Amino acid sequence: MSASDPSAGCFTGFSRLIATASAARRLTREEGEALRAFGEQAAADGTTLRQLVARHLRYARATWSEAPDSADSTLAMVVQAIDAMAEGYDRAQHHAVRRQEAARSEFLDDLLHGHTDLGRLAERADRFGLRLSHDHAVAVATGPALYAEGDDVPRRVERAVTSRFGERQTLLTTKEGRLVCVAPGDRRDVLAYFAEQARAAAGGGRTAIGRSHRGAGGVVHSFEEALDTLALATRLGLEDPVLDTADFMVYPVLTRDRQAMADLVRTALGPLLKARGGPETSLTTLTVYFEAGCNTTEAARRLSLSARALTYRLERIHRLTGTDPTDPLQRYTLQTAIIGARLLKWPAQSL
């Protein structure tokens, strides 16, 4: 059959359907399923839907009867046939997307666990446009609810990111109820946009961005950094929507020796337990004061106090603790102790 033949690549029973169209009948169940199966196979063979429809319309035009009274019934039959083929085509596309999503999810699960043979992992990575010999960074987003593959929010975020940056070298999936995005280490703009879209699609939430690292193990490292940063932000009660792991490197250092940190909290802040009404007011005052860069005017504004009232509070803290929060050499002790208290949940939990 020549390439110019309008029947090339057409459904084998299409000529019989056209020939019997004048009877104004509908497709039988068997004919409909055969057309759907043909549409599925066409999709698997790489035929575009546009090509599929165009071929059958050309064939119908070349073969149907020119009798005026057969035009409507012939067109109705063609519409039914193409609709059935398109349904099969869409079904094949849907299955292909599902298989791709499953393969991607399985690959990322193996990658982020770091327990798979690196050679095989690198081969699979090529399918998704990742070059594991290069640097990559990982962003992890949480939302008001847990996410699952195929949910509306993950799909919307993925469409937004791939529409802007393309599908190559960027991989999105869900893992343990979170959204995960892997991108080249030098494309922090991708991860920042992912964080923005995740928050917008979910109506809230938080994203942590790990540092850039090289190799398959580097992806795992960046992923774990992002998870640790999310957990740390929860413990600290932070409300920032986007967290950069690089900004939190001091905290693991401070908490590496838990006993030493507990001793510092007890020594530096323990005297505040004697304050009238408990230590909470003093702890809040110190926290806000340090977050405001030790700027008395700004801290007072945030606490809805006058500058004089804030100064009085700081003087009282100095008297109780023996450490002056306004002295550049002394306040570091209190500031570190405040961080430790938040991490150790003191005084709600005893040390």
pLDDT of residue 119: 61
The Cα 204–Cα 176 span in angstroms is 18
Tell me which long-range contacts 272-281 makes (C-beta under 8 A, separation of at least 24).
272/317, 272/320, 272/321, 273/347, 274/320, 275/316, 275/320, 278/347, 279/347, 281/313
Mind giving me the DSSP string for 283-296? Answer: HHHHHHHHHTTT-H
pLDDT of residue 91: 77
The Cα 138–Cα 191 span in angstroms is 8
> Phi/psi at 24 (nearest 5 deg)?
55, 45
The b-or-e profile of 1-23 (16+ CB within 10 A means b, else e) is eeeeebbebbbeebeebbeebbe
- Residue partners of 108: CB distance under 8 A and separation at least 6: 171, 173, 175, 180, 182
Cβ-in-10-Å burial (0-12, 13-18, 19+) of 102 comes to exposed
pLDDT, one tens digit for every residue, the chain (351 residues): 344 455 556 667 676 676 666 566 677 788 778 888 877 787 777 777 777 777 777 777 666 655 445 666 767 777 777 777 777 777 776 666 666 666 667 777 777 776 566 666 666 666 666 677 788 899 999 999 898 877 889 889 988 998 898 877 788 888 889 999 988 888 899 999 999 999 999 999 999 999 999 877 788 889 889 999 999 888 888 888 999 998 888 887 777 788 888 999 999 999 999 888 899 999 999 999 999 999 999 999 999 999 999 999 999 999 999 999 999 888 889 999 998 898 888 998 887
Residue 211 is given by DSSP the state: P
Tell me which long-range contacts 155-158 makes (C-beta under 8 A, separation of at least 24).
156/197, 156/201, 157/194, 157/197, 157/198, 157/201
In contact, 21 and 74? CB cutoff 8 Å = yes
- How far, CA to CA in Å, does 124 sit from each of 104, 129, 187, 220, 235? 9, 9, 22, 16, 37
In contact, 315 and 325? CB cutoff 8 Å = no
pLDDT of residue 298: 95
173 CA to centre of own chain: 6
pLDDT of residue 64: 65
> Phi/psi at 137 (nearest 5 deg)?
-130, 155
pLDDT of residue 52: 76
Q: Is the dihedral of CA 180, 181, 185, 190 positive or negative?
A: negative
Amino acid making up residue 28: T
Rama region for 158: left / alpha / beta (φ>0; ψ in -120 to 50; rest): alpha
> Phi/psi at 87 (nearest 5 deg)?
-65, -45
H/E stretch holding 174? strand 171-175
Amino acid making up residue 152: D
